[in-house]
Structure 1
Amino acid sequence: MLSWSDFDNLLTKYNWTYEEEPNARWVNQYNEELLRAWDANMDIQFVLDPYACAKYLMSYTTKPEREMSLLLEATHKECREGNIVQEAIYRATKMPLTYSSRGFVFVPAHSNSCKFLKSPNILKEMDPEDDNIYMSNLADKYFDRPAEAEFDICMADFASEYEIISIKKNIKNPKTPIKRLQTLNFAINKRCNRNAIIRYPYFNRENYFENLLSLYLPIRSRNELKKPY
């Protein structure tokens, strides 16, 4: 709260107000020469108060430290609530912390999605010249789905309606038929109850629309996107 002396001090200081046109109310103050060299966001203000300038510089340079302080404060607050022991036990025993009526599936539909390397034991047994060093993700299994007409579906429906299972897993009395993939050592099983909710990353404009095409067009290969689109 400001005191009367602080309020009087503010009134005696110089204030600078920019005269702007109505169509420039969303444009920050900039310098044309600096803009050509900087090529980034710019908001130039006149410095009329040395103390305010120093305060702004310190708050800007110590911004990461402020974020770390907030994280530490939140961690300390959680520890004081006394729930840390129960959470540690749940995580150590791999018990779920939350329950939901539907499952969630992450769909790496983009062509440049990250992949996990195979385990070191498998890589040691492979030929050094073999470049097949990555584990198959959901997109790879989608493109390897059976060639039957019922599987002419998009990747989003495939991830939501079907569950990926290993062929080594012995499932007794499955409620729905199990279909083997064409080349990969996996099979798919249609979900019985509710479909899963898909999640996918958001990219820039070009990659975002490529991601949507990969998700919602029933294709058998990524090359099918390059011809018409």
Structure 2
Amino acid sequence: MTPQAAKNKLRPFWNLLNNPTSQLDDMSQLLATCNMTLKEYNLSVKSLTSSSVILMKRDVKDCWVNNYNPHLLTAWNANMDIQYILDEYGCIMYMLSYISKPESEMSDYLKTIVKEMSPENETEREEIKGVLQAYSKHREVSAQESVARTCSLKMKSCSREVVFLQTGDNPLKMSLPLRALQNKPADSENVWMTGIPEKYRARPQTLEFEHMCLAEFASHYRIVYGKETEDCKRFRLLNNMGMIQKRTRGKPAIIRYARFSEKKDPENFYGRLLKLYLPHRSESSLKTEMFPTHQEFYKDACVRLPGAQEICAVTAIVTGCDDW
């Protein structure tokens, strides 16, 4: 039975339950009034959803009473609406639906603002400014957020810095500022800003850095700018990539990265492991003609790190770096 057919089948139930003049004592009377059997009723209810749902057994007169626990209700002494949590996804959706409840109204309001703006009289800059002003003036905030903003308190705080590392095959890049692009030749390909992976591959050619993986580099070192570069405790990167310094305040940074499924996307899954935990100078060294994929290179290849006497399996190197 399709969901629409189930709705049509159950419509008499809905009309009876919403009729204040109807007097129904039990389920059997309700079924008889709607000319339906209990089996047909259960089949129609099951057809309305594809997920698991718990239906509470109750009298017809109590159909509009929220789920409650008598002991908790006595202690709480307020309205209660308890729902069973059958899976993690249902729990997340239940909480987020309450957290983001005002956002749906805000979305409808912003759509109205955009429709009222005339494209002939408004520039793109003015349209964005109008949307921002409408959002800032009509957004609902909690009492806690209002106090935090009024008193200039921190909305969040962390004792350790968090660094995100892009490890996919098609990472997001930001272009150089327009003033920098205007000074470059028209056929120049050097139009992208450098990130941590590029600076890692330009690390100093010392034994300490040669055996260092990208994860350790990003966690233990930071990029320095301006007057900070005058300190003697800095390390200069190759190819004029700037300078770095070992983190001295607090603990090493927390690294975050995109996660891929080993079964659905094995190439990106093993590519992430190699880029994070195998010391390298270029991404082309993370797979070879003999091992053309990241998965084959990870499982079957062996490499010799600079300064090392023995050849070591890639799997052993990655596993050892992953444990630090």
Q: TM-score range by the shorter chain?
A: 0.5 to 0.7
Residues in 2 aligned to 1:4 and 1:117: alpha-carbon distance in whole angstroms = 71
Residues in 2 aligned to 1:97 and 1:69: alpha-carbon distance in whole angstroms = 20
String of CA shifts for 1:105-139, please: whole Å, max 9, x gaps.
11123342111111122122221211222111110
1:63-142 equivalent positions in 2, closer than 5 A: 71-73=100-102, 79-81=141-143, 83-84=145-146, 86-87=148-149, 90=152, 96-142=154-200
Letter in 2 for 1:165: V
Percent of matched pairs sharing the same residue: 28
Residue number among 173, 177, 189 corresponding to 2:245 in the alignment: 189
Letter in 2 for 1:181: L
Aligned residue for 2:238, secondary structure, equals coil
Letter in 1 for 2:270: F
2:202 and 2:241 in contact (8 A); partners too: no
Q: CA RMSD in A?
A: 3.7
String of CA shifts for 1:40-91, please: whole Å, max 9, x gaps.
xxxxxxxx53x886x669xxxxxxxxx888624378996252623643885x
Can you give the 5+ residue segments of structure 2 that lack an aligned partner in the other structure? 1-16, 18-23, 51-95, 107-137, 292-296, 298-324
Higher helix share goes to which structure? 2
Residues 1:199 and 2:256 aligned together:
yes
Cα deviation for residue 208 of structure 1 reads 1.7
The structure having more radius of gyration, on CA atoms, is 2
Cα deviation for residue 8 of structure 1 reads 5.8
What is residue 161 of structure 1 aligned with on the other side? 220
From the superposition, tell whether residues 104 and 4 of structure 1 become closer, same or farther in structure 2 (CA, over 3 Å).
Answer: farther
Q: Which has the higher contact order (CA 8 A, sep 6+)?
A: 1
Can you give the 5+ residue segments of structure 1 that lack an aligned partner in the other structure? 18-47, 58-66
Residues in 2 aligned to 1:89 and 1:199: alpha-carbon distance in whole angstroms = 32
TM-score (norm 1): 0.64
From the superposition, tell whether residues 77 and 191 of structure 1 become closer, same or farther in structure 2 (CA, over 3 Å).
Answer: same
Q: How many residues align?
A: 180
Residues 1:215 and 2:276 aligned together:
yes
Residues in 2 aligned to 1:88 and 1:115: alpha-carbon distance in whole angstroms = 36
From the superposition, tell whether residues 173 and 4 of structure 1 become closer, same or farther in structure 2 (CA, over 3 Å).
Answer: farther
Residues in 2 aligned to 1:190 and 1:68: alpha-carbon distance in whole angstroms = 43
Letter in 1 for 2:149: E
From the superposition, tell whether residues 149 and 124 of structure 1 become closer, same or farther in structure 2 (CA, over 3 Å).
Answer: same
1:110 and 1:214 in contact (8 A); partners too: no
What is residue 300 of structure 2 aligned with on the other side? none
The range that moved more, 176-185 or 131-140, is 176-185
